[in-house]
Chains A and B, each alone.
Chain A
Amino acid sequence: MNRIIEKIKGITWKYYLNYIVIGVVAAVFSALTFAGALPQSTLYLLERMTISIILAVSLGLVVGFLGELSLGHAGFMCIGAYIGGKVSVLLADALGKGVVNLLISLLVGALIAAAAGFIVGLPALRLKGDYLAIVTLAFCEIVKSLFQNTSEESFGGPLGLRTPRFDKQYLFIIGFVLVLVTLAVIQNLLRSKHGRAITAIRDNEIAAHATGINVTKYKLVAFVISAAFAGVAGVLYSFANNNVQAAVFDYNYSIEILVMVVLGGMGNITGTIISAAVITYLNTTLTVVLTGNLAVLKDLIYALVLILIVVYNNAPALKNFREKYNPRKFLKALLKLTHPESKKYADDEGAWARVPTKIEMNEILSTDIVVNESTKNPDKADKGE
């Protein structure tokens, strides 16, 4: 018994905090839905939240940990939604609308989205910063346009693809399971040596290259995994809706996901999850509360909140103010007050520090372009300039 307790004590709880919290939330809501106590608005909200979390966490891998700016996440989601939706339509006769159908669709949707990620990433990841951003944005718009121009029989054209909706009482549970899967894959990847290679590329690509890290390979790995989970979110979307319409997946949607990642704190998975959930909740609540003539205020409020939060969080001039009134510090102090022993965990930064959580993002949008010849032979390139 004592040994087990020792073992439990030895677990770094921080590693598992995300799983525990999400698991508990999922369990509570599942219990409620089995009791039939959840109104449909809550069910829909939970579905949307899980989709947002999967999207934000997977984009966070590319933006926060790999350090590349992608504005094409909605494009991969679009591929997942259409392909997964189509598969589920084809399977609906044979397998019904059940879990088996959903699993196969998820697998196919994720694989195709991953393949798209590979095809786009292979050439595009040579580019950096804003160039990569605009190329991924272009990819997103191309995907949207291609699906809009399909025939009515294949993918429905502008009307969209009609998909079988999964039972709304239980779909969000599958959503939560998929969130856990996403977290398991991405967090474990980041804690492995591959993850450290990915963050090394973010911190200094040339240094990483010099230490023998295969930069192209790891960039692609991160990009493809991110695309695959965007595909998973897309399939989930197709099961949460009766229709998949390409017009939804425009660059504005990509930007919305990016906002979740940035507000959550780059390279901070827990923060990303919280911000994805909060932003989805905020969007929904604003839609519900602002009816009639007030609807126009929704974007205004959203924009103002966005600007204020970003300026408050990032402005160098407000640094002292932020540190003085840091809510996290306050919370920590409160926890220490109630549990003096918990100091041990709070101070155990060593293990946690190995996991990349905080980063300086000064390099992400730099214009510096790697030109292969010049890295090989700097003198020649100098003459060329």
Chain B
Amino acid sequence: MEFITTLVNGLSLGGIYAMIALGYTMVYGIAKMLNFAHGDIIMVGGYTILVFLAINPIVSIVAAVVMCVLLGVSIEKVAYKPLRGSSPLAVLITAIGMSYFLQSLAQIIFGTAPRYVIIAEFGSLELGALKIGHGTLITLAAAVCVMVLLNLFVKYTKIGRAMIAVSEDKDAARLMGIDINMIITLTFAIGSALAALAGLFSLMNVPTIMPTYGALPGIKAFTAAVIGGIGSIPGAMLGGILLGVVECICNSLPGVAPYTTAIEFAILIVILLVKPTGLLGKKRREKV
């Protein structure tokens, strides 16, 4: 029974990782860049919720999504777009710079003390001895919903298919009349909105926020995205849930717990060595 509870907790944590990983994977697929600032957008979303929570929880969620979308798009415009066409490493470094920038800005505005953001109190579902918090269920359901919607959006709408086209071959997509700039901006908007939602669900899970809040979840979610196969939407979901479950199982074993992070990263290495494109990643041929 204890194991099942741990498993359910792992699924909930995995849902959050998956949500962050979805944003990572979207941006990576289109812009081909490691957006190191993605985790910090989650942090900004969390602080926006904190600021607007006094008015109304719903308002605060909407405000967080709007804020994150605006921030994501403007970061893209200011820091990434001027570098399009230059070395991808340059973009990586500006993304890292952005991450530091957002963290120190948050410290200046909100201080470093942890703040509690309690959005709503949830009860729990009891099945015999099994107790599952409603928050857990909502998180999991939302992650699945987002994944399905995102998949449908990418596969069946015109814009979504344009996104696939851009990720496959930018030049060919441009020749087909696709507005590349618009697609990239839209991708950042969607990725940032997902980050806001991820912030919301992390706050439902752990109601504390501080300026360094997004750093480690960001790295772990990126790990999840790579495990699942970066660029793949179901892959991000799978990777996130796998990572969440592994983390919870390791943490529940006293002797193993100190090595949890090491084990998570070791799993990443093993998976990549066996399957170099991740679990659900597409194989690509090198163009000569």
The residue that B87 contacts in the complex, of A259, A306, A362, A368, with Cβ under 8 A, is: A362
Interface of A, secondary structure class, is: helix
Residues of A close to B285: CB separation below 8 A: 371, 374-375, 378, 381-382, 385
A303 and B92 contact, Cβ closer than 8 Å, known pairs A315-B86, A384-B283: no
**Complex-state Cα separation, A375 to B268, whole angstroms:** 25
Whether A296 pairs with B276 at a CB distance below 8 angstroms is: no
User: Quick check: is A255 within 8 A (CB to CB) of the other chain?
Assistant: yes
- Chain B contacts for A282, CB-based, 8 A: none
> Among the listed stretches A16-24, A138-146, A186-194, A225-233, which one makes contact with chain B, having 4 or more residues with CB under 8 Å of it?
A138-146
Q: Which of A20-39 contact B (CB under 8 A)?
A: none
Contacts of B282 in A (CB 8 A): 385
Q: Say yes or no for B115: interface residue by CB 8 A criterion.
A: no
Residues from 127 to 178 in B contacting A, C-beta threshold 8 Å: none
B86 and A258 contacting across the interface, CB-CB below 8 Å: no
Mark contacts of A289-333 with chain B using CB atoms, 8 A cut-off: 1 yes-contact digit, 0 otherwise: 000000011111011101100110111111000000000000000
A206, A255, A313: the one within 8 Å of B90 (CB): A313
- A361 partner residues in chain B, CB cutoff 8 A: 87-89
Decide if B266 is an interface residue (CB 8 Å cutoff).
yes
The CA of A179 and the CA of B85, in the complex, are separated in Å by 35
B32:A366 contact, CB within 8 angstroms: yes
Knowing that A298-B104, A362-B87 touch, tell me 14 more A-B residue pairs with CB under 8 angstroms.
A63-B89, A262-B89, A262-B90, A266-B87, A297-B108, A302-B100, A303-B98, A307-B97, A310-B93, A317-B82, A365-B32, A371-B285, A374-B286, A381-B283
Query: Chain B interface: which of A7-15, A102-110, A129-137, A344-352?
Result: A129-137
Q: Are A306 and B258 in contact, with the CB atoms below 8 A?
A: no
Which residue on chain B has the smallest CB distance to residue A373? Answer: B283
Interface size on A, residues (CB 8 A): 64
Which residues of chain A have C-beta atoms less than 8 A from B100's C-beta? 299-300, 302-303, 306
CA–CA, A134 to B262, complex, Å?
14
Shortest Cβ-Cβ A-B pairs, 6 listed: A365-B88, A138-B265, A361-B87, A303-B101, A306-B97, A303-B100
A371 touches B276 (CB 8 A): yes
Q: Is the CB of B86 within 8 A of A127?
A: no
Q: Which of A341-381 contact B (CB under 8 A)?
A: 360-362, 364-371, 374-375, 378, 381
A148 contact set on B, CB distance < 8 A: 258
Pairwise interchain contact A266-B32, C-beta atoms closer than 8 A: no
Task: Find the A residue at minimum CB distance from B265.
Answer: A138
Query: What mask results when residues 219 to 233 of chain B are scored 1 for a CB within 8 Å of chain A, else 0?
Result: 100110010001100
- A123 within 8 A of partner (CB): yes
Q: Fill in one digit per residue for B242-277: 1 if any A CB lies within 8 Å of its CB, else 0.
A: 000000000000000011011001101100110011
Known: A141-B265, A311-B94. A131 touches B272 (CB 8 A): yes
For the complex, is A183 an interface residue (Cβ under 8 Å from B)? Answer: no
* A217 within 8 A of partner (CB): no
Contact of A370 among B92, B265, B269, B286 (CB under 8 A): B286
Q: Which residues of B contact A311 (CB under 8 A)?
A: 79, 82-83, 94
* Residues A255 and B265 in contact, CB atoms below 8 Å apart: no
Cα–Cα, bound, A371→B93 (Å): 29
Q: Is the CB of A141 within 8 A of B261?
A: yes
Report the minimal beta-carbon distance from A357 to chain B, rounded to whole angstroms.
15
**Contact of A126 with B276 at beta-carbon distance under 8 Å, contacts A69-B89, A255-B96, A300-B108 already known:** yes
